[in-house]
Amino acid sequence: VPPRATMRGTVAALIQSCLILLVRADQWLKDSGNCELNKKQSELNSFLWTIKRDPPSYFYGTIHVPYTRVWDYIPDNSKQAFQESNIVYFELDLTDPYTISALTSCQLLPQGENLQDVLPRDIYRRLKRHLEYVKLMMPSWMTPDQRGKGLYADYLFNAIAGNWERKRPVWVMLMVNSLTEADIKTRGVPVLDLYLAQEAERMRKRTGAVEKVEEQCHPLNGLNFSQVIFALNQTLLQQESLRAGSVQVPYTTEDLIRHYNCGDLNSVIFKHDTSQVPNFKNVTLPPSEQVTAQEIDSYFRQELIYKRNERMGKRVKALLEEHPDKSFFFAFGAGHFLGNNTVINVLRRQGYEVEHTPAGQPIKHLPHLLFPPDSLELLEKAERKMLKKKRRNKQKKQRHRHFNDLWVNMVHSPPPPMVRIINGYITVQPPERPQHHNYDYHQVYSAAPSFCSLSSLLAMVICLTTIQNLRALVL
């Protein structure tokens, strides 16, 4: 048997087995797919938890998909909790230019090093070939809607993969994962977590972050060389099979959107976490590779979930104690609230009462912000109007702006005037935000695969340790 055929056979078997391992999650996806959307308010899925105190504070689980796809299914009481809170905290402060530059540099290889020097020749060659393929396909992947907004394929490709040769292998692996047709099609609208940050800023709320850039970035860089090469190799193998048409993408952004919109919090997602280490019994991976896959999985689970949840929980507690009279809204990736050792568990251990808040359950109004029920809608309308006006003004201003204000490393077509790239998320016509200069925004988390939507900013953090870990690391 020619070696190529053997390899393909192995990969196919591997993928097959992994799909079987995912049966439970898959079942869940199917169930969610059947859920009827446009349900009554009281039946919507809720990612809101109330921290009982006076005034109350909230945890909210965000997701890393275009907000327009989930907004209508977010219960009114979650939106109200957001509007009424005084201070909004995220995982990272994306409005701080330092955050962006630190994220960018954290992903780069040491000065003077190049991927070509670092990667095994075979891997480098396959990576290069795959990226050439993606570049070639990109124009056909983009939707008319994206083109209508002025997003060009060249631009998008350079935005996401422009300096791939300078990135650390682990970030290149994540980048490759985000360069699929399904994920490319979702670019152009702010993802929910970014949208909330923009809204908070627009509503002049105080905002902040519970994590430092390094705390998100360093654990990823801490995987050792052989582990990273293993993960990159498996990722490339998967993409190569996709290209050859021999497998389908097991999970897409569409699936995750469905989860979020109608997933049952009490069902599989909780259970899934208890069986995160994949069962390779039927897998044809050599034993040493099975061990590597498991080691990577436990490393990420420990370093990127449990340790971070612990730290985030402690900082939440400190904030609550420091500002007893303020109502907080903590918007973190949904994955930080699901499963084992969550942020909620940390708070409960510290003596706080934290309760899941189903859709339809009234939240406690803050006296100074008490709206009669339908004035909220009026307010939203007024806000939208104001926003439109602001955008028009901004559009005028932007025409006179230098291209370099928006983008520093453009090779091909100039960016359309209203396109901004913030932390990897390409946003068309965003609301007013402070100007950041000289940062290569899109380089930053462009790697974060948007299908790994359970976490907010570090999408892959959660994804690697939940359903998606198999796709990223094993498949």
Nearest to 160 by CA among 148, 145, 147, 175: 175
Q: How far apart are CA 61 and CA 269, in angstroms?
A: 13
Cα 309 from chain centroid? 16
Count CA atoms within 13 Å of residue 393 on its CB side: 8
Q: How far apart are CA 133 and CA 472, in angstroms?
A: 19
Contact 89, 330 (CB under 8 A): yes
Which amino acid makes up residue 25?
A
The minimum distance between CB 135 and ligand NAG, in angstroms, equals: 23
Select 42 or 298, whichever has its Cβ closest to ligand NAG: 298
| Start-to-end C-alpha separation, the chain | 23
The minimum distance between CB 390 and ligand NAG, in angstroms, equals: 46
Select 40 or 281, whichever has its Cβ closest to ligand NAG: 281
Select 17 or 158, whichever has its Cβ closest to ligand NAG: 17
Select 48 or 115, whichever has its Cβ closest to ligand NAG: 115
For residue 57, the SS3 value is: strand
Footprint on this chain of ligand NAG (rule: CB under 6 A): 10, 17, 20, 120, 122-123, 224-227, 229, 233, 237, 274, 279, 281-282, 289, 295, 306, 340-341
Select 133 or 270, whichever has its Cβ closest to ligand NAG: 270
Select 341 or 350, whichever has its Cβ closest to ligand NAG: 341
The minimum distance between CB 321 and ligand NAG, in angstroms, equals: 25
Select 186 or 466, whichever has its Cβ closest to ligand NAG: 466
DSSP 97-141: HHHHHHHHHHTBPSTT--HHHHS-HHHHHHHHHHHHHHHHHHHHH
The minimum distance between CB 347 and ligand NAG, in angstroms, equals: 16
The minimum distance between CB 233 and ligand NAG, in angstroms, equals: 4
Q: How far apart are CA 10 and CA 163, in angstroms?
A: 32
Count CA atoms within 13 Å of residue 446 on its CB side: 28
Contact 35, 259 (CB under 8 A): no
Select 226 or 404, whichever has its Cβ closest to ligand NAG: 226
89, 79, 42, 371: CA torsion to nearest 10: 130
The minimum distance between CB 341 and ligand NAG, in angstroms, equals: 5
Token output for 32: 């969610």
The minimum distance between CB 355 and ligand NAG, in angstroms, equals: 22
The minimum distance between CB 7 and ligand NAG, in angstroms, equals: 6
Question: How far, in Å, are 66, 171, 193, 426 from residue 146 at the CA level?
Answer: 13, 26, 20, 11
The minimum distance between CB 276 and ligand NAG, in angstroms, equals: 7
For 366-387, b where at least 16 C-beta lie within 10 A, e where not — what string?
A: eeeeeeeeeeeeeeeeeeeeee
The minimum distance between CB 218 and ligand NAG, in angstroms, equals: 16
Select 197 or 285, whichever has its Cβ closest to ligand NAG: 285
Token output for 64: 């890393």
Q: How far apart are CA 458 and CA 217, in angstroms?
A: 9
The minimum distance between CB 176 and ligand NAG, in angstroms, equals: 14
Token output for 327: 């109502």
Select 31 or 295, whichever has its Cβ closest to ligand NAG: 295
Select 14 or 44, whichever has its Cβ closest to ligand NAG: 14
